Structure 1
Amino acid sequence: MSKKTRHEEHEEHADESWLLPYSDLMTLLVALFLAMYAMSATDAQKFEQMAQAFKSVFNGGSGVLEYKSDAPTNTQMDQGKEEKMNNVIAPNTGKDEIAKLKQKEQEELEKLKKQFDQYIKNNGLTDLLSTKLNQSQLTITISDNALFSSGQAVVKDDSRQLAKSISTMLQQFPDYDVLVEGHTDNIPISNSEYPSNWDLSVARALQFMKILLLNPYLDPVKFSPIGYGEYHPIADNSTAAGRAKNRRVEVSILRKYLDGAQTIDPAATGK
């Protein structure tokens, strides 16, 4: 009986030699994308400095590192912001002209204060609203009872007309910066919405400011909301009457011209 030679069956394996160049290609692509992202996210000024350094090492020449960005650098943006927030009158402005500008501003703010005072009187709001004009700003102080329910930052429906009236008066003088400031008493608050008086005061300032800015004639660039929590009281927090006075929203119209002939920096007007 003849023996038949039997060959064991071997499992065939797919040719995987293509994986090596494929993985190399993927690695190169990832490196390329990371380099492109880094170049796009890098500070323009630092990139220019790096380019100059490489050029000096390689003895100059115009190549890929000869880079000049049209985009403003961080320093330029900071300077622009500072000029906007603290706009100094040109040095060649005469004293007489500065005096006229300050006098005009005083007249405008006095006129605006009279309008607010008349509105308060006509609507029987003397217990809830008041105004004050000093060397830095015109401030409209609004009791929290006139705007919000206890512990809340949603402006009452019947108080939205008040915000609308204030915004209408503000639109007559669109060049002034306006701060909307929230204040609370010193009784701690902690709930699911507002874990602290800081949160509540910021939320109240922001919500009231949003209603003011429903007026399309007001420029949002001129407005800033600030929350002071309990840390800028105007009355004694040891009494109920004092705490009621401290719970308030203030709308402050900032003077542009101070002694020294410069505008007010809104970030430096905390009372």
Structure 2
Amino acid sequence: MAKRSKRHGNHEEHMDESWLIPYADLLTLLLALFIVLFASSKMDAKKFDQMVRSFDVALNGGIGVFNQPSPVPLDPSLPQQTLHMGKEDDDRELTEEEKKLEEAFRKETEDLKKLQGRLEEYIEANNLQDKLQTQLTDEGLLITILDNALFDSGRADLKPEARKLAAEMAAMLVPHPKKVTVTGHTDNVPINRPDFPSNWDLSVKRSVNFLKVLLENSQLDPAKFSATGVGEYHPVASNATPEGRAKNRRVEVAILRDLTTPPKGVSAETKP
């Protein structure tokens, strides 16, 4: 009688994964060690606390070794340090020269804010909120004027009311003898006309014409002024919509700071 073949059930062999448990514990301990080492260095306590909570949620769902109070005390009465690992000079006292630069930057910011305030008053008094905007930055005060406030469509000659605006702006600039740049911008719709073969030509002519009206004020120093045109290549909105193209057709007047680099810990938003 033929021997019946002995059948063995087909069982898939499984790799022993029990080693993963101690391996995971080891990684957790190592990570906890790095957290402790990290906490012992000079750092921003708030950022550290946020980082610990993030690790906690990511690794343990908010439960475990990281679900503990921050080892760095959070004293609201003390200023928080900025996180700069390995930069000991960040805690040093400012030199006299640095203090002078910091004070000069604050004074310059205060002056620019006063100028911005005068411009905002003029904008509100003449209902130009939808045509003029001002923005104070680390580089200076930026005034953005939409093209329809200055020019007729496809033209570079200033409207009569635009000449009044330029004259008012020039008078405000007299007490602030700083470098001023005037930059013309267009949308991306080709113009291709005999007087303006390209958007480059239109943007340059518009900026130069606005600059000329500013400099009709003899108290301004022409050496501090410059004009340029960048065509459609620096849009602030999408050219896919009429609204976006209208925002891109603009003239920007930038009153530049004398201090091009803010001192340590100071920005345009720092209150004097």
Tell me the TM-score normalized by structure 1.
0.61
Corresponding residue for residue 118 of structure 2:
115
Please state how far the C-alpha of 1:93 moved relative to its aligned partner. 6.9
Secondary structure, aligned partner of 1:94: helix
Return the letter of the residue paired with 2:224.
K
The count of corresponding residues between Structure 1 and Structure 2 is 169
Alignment of 1:3-18 (within 5 A): none
Q: CA deviation digits over 1:119-156, x for unaligned, max 9?
A: 10011000111101111121111110011111110001
Of 167, 185, 188, 2:187 maps to 185
1:63-82 matches, within 5 Å, as none
Aligned-residue offset at 1:96: 1.3
Q: Partner residue of 1:255? A: 257
1:157-236 to 2 correspondence within 5 Å? 157-174=160-177, 176-236=178-238
Give me the whole-angstrom Cα distance separating, in 1, the residues matched to 2:96 and 2:225: 28
Give SS of 1:132's match.
strand
* Cα drift, residue 259 of structure 1: 2.8
Of residues 128, 151, 155, the one that matches 2:154 is 151
Q: Is 1:140–2:129 an aligned residue pair?
A: no
Give a deviation string over 1:168-207, Cα, whole Å, max 9, x none.
1011111x10000100000011111000000000000000
Matches for 1:45-60 after TM superposition, within 5 Å: none
1:102 corresponds in structure 2 to 105
Q: Which amino acid aligns with 2:147?
A: D
Query: Post-superposition shift, 1:158?
Result: 2.3
For structure 1, the 5+ residue unaligned runs are 1-91, 262-271
The 2-side partners of 1:259 and 1:167 are apart by 26
2:244 to 237, 242, 245: 242
Could you say if the C-alpha distance between residues 105 and 196 of structure 1 is closer, same or farther in structure 2, counting changes exceeding 3 Å?
Answer: same
User: Structure 2: any 5+ residue segments left out of the alignment?
Assistant: 1-94, 264-272
Is 1:130 the equivalent of 2:126? no
Letter paired with 1:105: E
| Paired residue type of 1:153 | A
Tell me how large the CA RMSD over aligned residues is: 1.3
Verify the 8 A CA contact 2:138 2:261 in the aligned structure 1: no
Q: Name the % identity.
A: 50
Q: What is the TM-score when the length of structure 2 is the normalising length?
A: 0.60
Instruction: Please say if residues 138 and 262 of structure 2, whose CA atoms lie closer than 8 Å, have aligned partners that are also in contact.
Output: no
CA distance in 1, matches of 2:140, 2:103: 18
Deviation, 1:260, is: 6.7
SS at match of 2:119: helix
Aligned AA (2:241)? T
User: Secondary structure of 1:164's match?
Assistant: helix
| Shift >2 Å, 4+ stretches | 258-261
- In the TM superposition, residue 258 of structure 1 has moved relative to its aligned partner by 3.2
